[in-house]
Each structure stands twice: as C-alpha cells, then as structure tokens.
Amino acid sequence: MKQSGSVWPQHLLQWFWRVKRDLPWRNTEDPYAIWVSEVMLQQTQVKTVIPYYQKFLERFPTVRSLAEAELEEVLEMWRGLGYYSRARHLWEGARFVFEHFEGGVPENYESLLAIPGVGEYTAGAIASIAYHERVPAIDGNVNRVLARLIAWEEPTAKVKSRRVFREVLKEAQPGEYPGDFNQALMELGATVCTPKAARCGECPLEMECDAHRLGQESAFPVKHSQVRVTEAFRFTLMIRKGDRLLVKKRPASGLLANLWEFPGEEILKHDFHLFKDGKDCLTAAESGELYGKSEQAINNEFLRPGFWYDLYQRVVSDHSQDENMKKKLEKGLEVKGPIFYIFSHRRWEMYWVDLEWPDEISDIGLCWVSWEELKRMALPVAFQKLLEEPNRNYEG
C-alpha cells in the first residue's frame, strides 16, 4: 500500500491542471449542475453527454425547476441518452431535496447520501467538487487506476477492495484541492490508464505504479467472474391506424421502467419450449418435441399466424376486433427481424409484425400516438430501432 509520504498526489494534480479537458461541468461549482453531470456520465461517454447536459440545464436550471416538472417531460429530455432509470432517480432526488432541504442541495457528504438515488460516488463527487470536502469519489476509472497503482490482487467489486481503496485515498487526498484530486483520478482513468491499453509513457504516476514496475499492467484490475447475459426473444406488434401507432407504458419497476413501448411480450429463450400455439403449458410429449428442435425450427414456431394471434390476445385486453385480427393473420403476414439489442445483463432477439388497424382499440393500458408525438416520447432505443432498417446489432 502507498505510504502517506508519497509524492504521487502532487504529480497527479500537476498533470491534471496541465492537460485537463475543458468540459462544461468543470466550469461551475453549482452542486446541482455537478449532480446532473455525474448522473449523466454514468455508463455514457463524455462526448455524448455534453449536448444533453447543456439542454437539460437550459430546461431545468435549478433543483426546483426539475422537482416541479412532470416525470414524462424529464424522460423526454433524456430521450436517446439511455439508462432512463438515471433520469427517474435524478427527478426523485430533486423532489426530495426540494421538500426536505428547502430546494438547496445538501452541503456535506453525509447529508447528500440521504437523497434517494445518490450513492457514495455521486455524494463524494458533489461534496468534493462543489463544497471542497475531503472525501473520495470512486468510480470505475478510479478503481482501475488504484488497482494498477498498488497492484491489487482481488476484484475491485469486493467489500475488502472498497475498504482498502478508501484507505489509500484517505491518506493521499490533499486538503486544499480534494475536488481536483478526485477529478484528476477520473481523468487519468478515462484518458491514459484505460481498460484496454495503459499508456504508461503518458502517465504522471508511471514511476510510482506497482503494476508498471511488475510489467503487468494488463493483469489489473483482477477480473471477477463474468455475469451471464440472459437471452430472450422480444415479440412486438406494430399496430398502425393511419399515421398513428399503438403504444403502452411499461411497468413502474424492472427493465425500462415507466418508459413507452410497442405492445408485445418477452420470452426467455430457455423458457420458449413452454410456448406453443399460445398454450401456457404443454403435455410432456409436446414439450419434448419442441425442446429437441434446432433453433431454426423453434424460430419457425413464431412464423405461424396462430402464434401472433395468441400474442395479440395476451397483450391487448380489448377483444372486439378478434375476428378481424384472425382474418388478417390467416391471409399471411411478414415477420420482420431479427435485430438484436443488448442491455447490461440481457440480450433481446427482436421480431415484429406490422398491422394496419381499421378501428380504435379501447384498452386502458394502450394509447394511439402520432409519429411526431412518438419522437418526443421516452421510447427506448430498442424500440426506436424497429422503425429503422433491420438486421443490425445495437448496444445500450
């Protein structure tokens, strides 16, 4: 472990002041603006965040303006940035601050942690940058830098690793520039000590880095066991009436919570053998017959009109048009797809059908929207891709 007398914090700060990028959130000490930037930067590249950050603050310049807005408008402003739960948590946090702190962002680390959705990293970033409090702010970039700096031989996600890294930073963080120190570590991890290539010749900590001394930069951080990605089908009905499309809001919890989608259903691939002709359960013979088929044979199951008619009956509660739907499907339809969309722990293989609808559907969970309205709604990128050319892979 690095000793308290080390000069590496000074080398790091001098490097940061010389090369730091000119980013809009670095030109303010407004705790609210810093909060917004930190939330947007989670799992999103800087170049993508900048225009969203600027537009968001133009529309919601204060905690109060955000707290008084409708969640739907906040999600619309977030459209295209992805990971919409961040927007919802930010909005909920603003409402909490407005109610409990009279609209002012709390002025110390412990009070910031009381805000719903604000964790140790975000609280540390706000407290150190806006209020100059001597507290760490450890994100993925900082974890990587520290793991290489001290050649830490355990995965960074472990509780022990978190405790050790906080001890290292407690010794190293200067009292005079705690915010710059935290930003410098983040900057180093984002631009020099990167995941795939540690550019040691450009690093101000090269001579103090244990991983570099060992010649094993790529061995750190130590990898933890890989999280398995769940494979799922996502079947979707693109139901049109003139220039309008039928949409519904997703549940308030879980994947893509509170966002809009086209009616449809997710079926995990390892459960797909349980579905045939719309049945919720099969005989042993039927289950074995389908489960033993090749993937292409299984795919053929949802090329049949009966599959899509059963899907329609499950996701649309208004059955007044059942006969019309059945006739349409019996004439044959084009099943489009697949396109693939990857979430952090889930991969959708998406198929859909287009249907022109003659009458209104009366279903409390569904509504018709125009193309212009759709452009302004919080429609996840996964569903936006159904409006574009298929046969491409997208990641989010």
Considering only 87-91, 133-137, 230-234, 252-256, which range has the smallest mean pLDDT? Answer: 252-256
Residue 275, phi-psi category: left (phi > 0), alpha (psi -120 to 50), beta (remainder): beta
Q: Which string of DSSP letters, residue by residue, matches 253-280? A: SSTTTT-EE-SEEEEEGGGGGG-BTTBS
Which residues, listed in sequence order, are joined to residue 261 by a DSSP beta bridge? 248
**Residue 197 burial by CB count (10 A; 0-12/13-18/19+): exposed, middle or buried?**
exposed
Domain spans of the chain, in order of start: 8-219, 230-395
**Averaging pLDDT over each range in 126-130, 211-215, 332-336, 354-358, which range is the top one?**
126-130
Q: What is the pLDDT of residue 388?
A: 75
Of 209, 226, 213, 215, nearest to 145 by C-alpha is 209
Q: Does domain 230-395 have CATH number 3.40.640.10?
A: no
Q: What is the pLDDT of residues 298-348, one digit of tens each?
A: 456 666 778 888 888 888 888 887 888 888 777 777 888 888 888 877 889
Supply angle C-alpha 180, 181, 182, rounded to 5: 90
Contacts of 273-281 spanning 24+ positions with Cβ under 8 A: 273/298, 275/301, 276/301, 277/306, 277/307, 277/310, 278/306, 278/307, 278/309, 278/310, 278/311, 278/313, 278/314
pLDDT band (50, 70, 90) for residue 132:
very high
Considering only 10-24, 117-131, 223-237, which range has the smallest mean pLDDT? Answer: 223-237
Q: What is the pLDDT of residue 168?
A: 95
The residue ranking higher by pLDDT, 284 or 57, is: 57
Whether the per-residue pLDDT at 188 is higher than 60: the answer is yes
pLDDT band (50, 70, 90) for residue 276:
very low
Q: Of the residues 29, 38, 171, 349, which is catalytic?
A: 38
Mean pLDDT, residues 82-109 taken together:
92
CATH topology of domain 8-219: Endonuclease III; domain 1 (1.10.340)
Whether the per-residue pLDDT at 288 is higher than 50: the answer is no
Q: What is the pLDDT of residue 356?
A: 83
Mean pLDDT, residues 276-296 taken together:
39
Q: What is the pLDDT of residue 80?
A: 87
**Averaging pLDDT over each range in 31-35, 80-84, 115-119, which range is the top one?**
31-35
Q: What is the pLDDT of residue 28?
A: 93
Q: What is the pLDDT of residue 306?
A: 80
Instruction: Tell me whether residue 38 is one of the annotated catalytic residues.
Output: yes
Mean pLDDT, residues 137-146 taken together:
96
Q: What is the pLDDT of residues 155-178, one digit of tens each?
A: 998 899 999 999 999 999 999 999
Q: What is the pLDDT of residue 300?
A: 60
Q: What is the pLDDT of residue 48?
A: 95
pLDDT band (50, 70, 90) for residue 226:
low
Whether the per-residue pLDDT at 27 is higher than 50: the answer is yes
Enumerate helices (H) and strands (E) in the chain, giving the number of each: 18, 8
Average pLDDT value over all residues in the chain: 85
Of all residues in the chain, the percent with pLDDT exceeding 90 is 51
Whether the per-residue pLDDT at 396 is higher than 50: the answer is no
